[in-house]
């Protein structure tokens, strides 16, 4: 499939998800007794709008790049050859990352925010890095420290209850 077709499809899917996400925020109920100017629907709406803008940029770039197919000629035979798409590796990483995000969302309720976040960050950094196993110790340390900091901030400063999971 030509790259621009993939980009049109990707942009379209992101736009549809953003519209659905934005429309769902209208069903959120406000907390009783709060007079804060920003409600629970604020951040999901901001994220949905940013996703929609991102989808628009992807579609616009796909539109600009349509028909710009590059032909690669083999120097020895003089025949046109099919070149491997340099972005195919990135799409594989993107797909694996998306799967990791979905798994993270599912595991958060089961094993708790802290453990799920540590596992997710380790996985995500390993996916996006050069897969150098020597970096695994550094990645693990960063993941644990960042997860504990975020957990502490949300729990003790913002007073937001995060999923505990079976570890309590």
- pLDDT, tens digit, for every residue of 29-78? 766 555 555 667 777 888 889 899 999 998 998 888 877 655 566 666 66
Q: Do 47 and 105 fall within a single domain?
A: no
Single out the residue in 54, 83, 112 at which a domain terminates: 83
Query: What's the farthest any 2 CA atoms get from each other in the chain?
Result: 76
Note down the domain range covering 78: 1-83
**CA 124 – CA 117 distance, rounded (Å):** 10
3-state secondary structure 92-140: HHHHHHHHHHHHHHHHHHHHCHHHHHHHHHHHHHHHHCCCCHHHHHHHH
Q: Do 70 and 93 fall within a single domain?
A: no
**CA 96 – CA 66 distance, rounded (Å):** 27
Q: Do 78 and 92 fall within a single domain?
A: no
For residue 81, list its beta bridge partners.
72
Q: Is the predicted pLDDT of residue 1 greater than 70, yes or no?
A: no
Helix ranges (H only) for the chain are 3-24, 42-65, 88-111, 113-128, 136-152
Number of domains in the chain: 2
At residue 149, the pLDDT reads: 94
Range with lowest mean pLDDT among 23-32, 91-100, 109-118: 23-32
Q: Do 77 and 13 fall within a single domain?
A: yes
Q: Which one has a higher pLDDT value, 161 or 24?
A: 24
Residue 159: C-alpha distances to residues 46, 125, 151 (Å): 22, 28, 10
Q: Do 112 and 50 fall within a single domain?
A: no
Single out the residue in 83, 98, 114 at which a domain terminates: 83
Q: Do 167 and 99 fall within a single domain?
A: yes
Q: Do 114 and 40 fall within a single domain?
A: no
Q: Does the global pTM surpass 0.75?
A: no
Q: Do 139 and 89 fall within a single domain?
A: yes
**CA 108 – CA 165 distance, rounded (Å):** 7
Q: Do 72 and 131 fall within a single domain?
A: no
Q: Do 73 and 97 fall within a single domain?
A: no
At residue 68, the pLDDT reads: 67
**CA 158 – CA 146 distance, rounded (Å):** 16
Residue 166: C-alpha distances to residues 113, 156, 163 (Å): 11, 21, 9
Per cent of the chain over pLDDT 90 is: 22
Q: Contact 127/93 with Cβ under 8 angstroms?
A: yes
């Amino acid at each position: 499939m030509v790259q621009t077709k993939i980009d049109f499809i990707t942009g379209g899917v992101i736009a549809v998800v953003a519209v659905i996400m934005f429309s769902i925020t209208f069903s959120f109920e406000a907390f009783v007794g709060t007079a804060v100017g920003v409600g629970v629907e604020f951040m999901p709406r901001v994220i949905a709008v940013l996703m929609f803008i991102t989808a628009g940029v992807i579609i616009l770039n796909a539109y600009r790049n349509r028909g710009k197919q590059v032909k690669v000629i083999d120097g020895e035979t003089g025949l046109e050859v099919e070149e491997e798409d340099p972005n195919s590796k990135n799409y594989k990483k993107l797909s694996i990352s998306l799967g990791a995000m979905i798994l993270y969302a599912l595991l958060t309720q089961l094993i708790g925010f802290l453990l799920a976040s540590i596992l997710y960050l380790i996985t995500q950094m390993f996916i996006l890095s050069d897969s150098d196993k020597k970096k695994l110790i550094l990645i693990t340390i960063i993941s644990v420290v960042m997860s504990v900091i975020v957990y502490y901030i949300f729990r003790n400063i913002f007073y937001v209850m995060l999923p505990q999971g079976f570890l309590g």
